[in-house]
Amino acid sequence: MSYICFKNVSKSFNRIPVIKSADFSVEKGEICGFIGRNGSGKTVIFKLMTGLLLPDSGTVTINGKDYSSKGRFYDSIGVMIETPGFIPHYTGLKNLKILNSMSSSPVSVSEICALMRRLGLDPKNRCPVKTYSLGMRQKLGIIQAVMNLPELLVLDEPMNSLDTESVKEIRKLFTELNKIGTTIVIASHISEDIEALCTRTFRIDNAVVTEVKAEAETV
């Protein structure tokens, strides 16, 4: 049984199809990439996968359970879709502590601080998140997605606004998480991210999702 399974999934907005009859699966423990031009539907696929959107037709199952119905969310999931949202007048650490307290598997504050330092953020920084650069916000978004060691990570353009060294460290972090069993789905316009991380790749074009053969994989 596939870990994530889309069966005949379609989604339209204002009668314009964004996803048409998507049939694909992701196996547990894989890192799968999703590519396509801006506006092709990558974010919509991820929102359908996480329960943030419901399909017009078809089913989305994760670990054998149907998450196509309203109000159902996978228990162990880390999500970073579009611009990370935080309480702007709180510090980065305070935001993470609040999110951690809401998790079914909270970690220690020292573990959060260690992860912040690893990605180049100072947990002692008293500046509110509203003063953070785009790159700092992006790193904070990655930390909130991974800090509780979810079974599934859904990451939409996680490397946006990051410098080369940060990208290398975050790729290493994702690889480490995958080695301990985390399934990862990632969308990136950076071909090196897909090539370095992914075992399989799917392309979204004209609302259709197809698997890309390894020898033809380009972004």
Domain at 206, CATH number: 3.40.50.300
> Could you tell me which of 135, 177, 173 has the C-alpha nearest to residue 152?
177
Could you tell me if 210 and 105 lie in one domain?
A: no
Residue 96 lies in a domain: yes
Are 151 and 181 a contacting pair, CB within 8 Å?
A: yes
> Could you tell me which of 110, 97, 37, 28 has the C-alpha nearest to residue 62?
28
Could you tell me if 143 and 208 lie in one domain?
A: no
Residue 81 lies in a domain: no
Could you tell me if 31 and 42 lie in one domain?
A: yes
Could you tell me if 190 and 140 lie in one domain?
A: no
Residue 219 lies in a domain: no
Could you tell me if 71 and 93 lie in one domain?
A: no
Residue 16 lies in a domain: yes
Could you tell me if 178 and 156 lie in one domain?
A: yes
Domain span holding position 142: 88-148
Could you tell me if 99 and 142 lie in one domain?
A: yes
Residue 33 lies in a domain: yes
Cα dist. 109→16, 75, 80, 101, 138 in Å? 46, 22, 21, 10, 20
57, β-bridge pairs = 10
Could you tell me if 161 and 72 lie in one domain?
A: yes
pLDDT at 9: 97
Q: What is the pLDDT along the chain (219 residues), one digit of tens a residue?
A: 799 999 999 999 999 999 999 999 999 999 999 999 888 999 999 999 998 999 999 999 999 988 877 767 788 999 999 877 899 999 999 999 999 999 989 999 999 999 999 999 999 999 999 999 999 999 999 999 999 999 999 999 999 999 999 999 999 999 999 999 999 999 988 889 999 999 999 999 999 999 998 654 444
Residue 197 lies in a domain: yes
Q: 106: which 2 tokens?
A: 């909270």
Could you tell me if 64 and 157 lie in one domain?
A: yes
Q: How many domains does the chain contain in total?
A: 2
pLDDT at 218: 45
